[in-house]
Amino acid sequence: MKRIVVLVSGNGSNLQAIIDACKLKKINGTVAAVFSNKTEAFGLERAREAEIPAHALTASQFVDRAAFDRELMLEIDAYAPDLVVLAGYMRILSPEFVGHYAGRLINIHPSLLPKYPGLHTHRQVLENGDEVHGTSVHFVTEELDGGPVILQAEVPVFEGDDEEDITARVQNQEHAIYPLVVSWFIEGRLEMRENSAWLDGKELPPQGHAADE
């Protein structure tokens, strides 16, 4: 069975969606381990509840980012993952780390990339008066939130919305599309070739596969 390692920094709701999808056989794989850079991350508790090995590595234990990432790679590789999933992991990864897992490292970002890379996406949507927002699953490359997009899902933005409203709407979509993308990869349908995402032997457009297709 294919093995998945998940990295989290906080609540881990997307981790939970992936764990649940594995239990329901919607993903033909298993979450082999969960890692966090925060010892108090609730995502670690979610892992323990599911009897999945849970590990915390904090920045204070290491002299620099490179040393942190080298140790993280060693510990991840002990689980021989087929796929490494970033699920709200809030550390910027070193080029060495990204290169080591190239083509088998994915992330979910709360915007319709390439719009709003980085932090505070919901706030920017409200400040700019956008009527549509969403979330993107993408392969990870050295460019922050710049890897090839695999799948996006849109959500409406209504008059009177605040950040909590938008967060809930976006997360609802994330919990649907992230397990789906993980299943595609585990089934061998999804790959990264020459900085493009390919699904079922076809190159995906810049915005990825349309969720309603």
pLDDT in tens, 70-85: 999 999 999 999 999 9
Please report the pLDDT score of residue 213 as a whole number.
43
Written as six digits, the tokens of 182 are 């993980």
pLDDT of 210 reads 66
**Do 68 and 59 touch, CB atoms closer than 8 A?**
yes
In this structure, which topology does domain 108-136+145-177+184-213 adopt according to CATH?
A: Rossmann fold (3.40.50)
In 73-159, at which residue ranges do the beta strands (DSSP E only) sit?
83-86, 105-109, 132-139, 149-156
Identify the segments of the chain with pLDDT beneath 70: 210-213
Q: Looking at the chain, list the stretches that DSSP marks H as alpha helix, in order from N- to C-terminal side.
A: 13-23, 42-49, 65-77, 95-100, 121-128, 163-186
Look at residue 211 in the predicted model and tell me its pLDDT: 56
Domain segments of the chain as ranges: 1-101, 108-136+145-177+184-213
* HSE, side-chain direction, 13 A CA sphere, residue 107: 26
Number of H helices, E strands in the chain: 6, 11
Nearest-angstrom CA–CA distance, 110 and 108: 7
Could you confirm whether domain 1-101 is CATH 3.40.50.10130?
no
Same fold, 1-101 and 108-136+145-177+184-213: yes
> For the whole model, what pTM was predicted?
0.96
| Numbered residues of the known binding site for (6R)-10-formyltetrahydrofolate | 65, 90-93, 107
- Per residue in 127-168, pLDDT tens? 999 999 999 999 999 998 999 999 999 999 999 999 999 999
Distances (CA, A) of 92 to 37, 69, 143: 11, 10, 10
Q: Are 109 and 184 in contact (CB under 8 A)?
A: no
Active site residues: 109
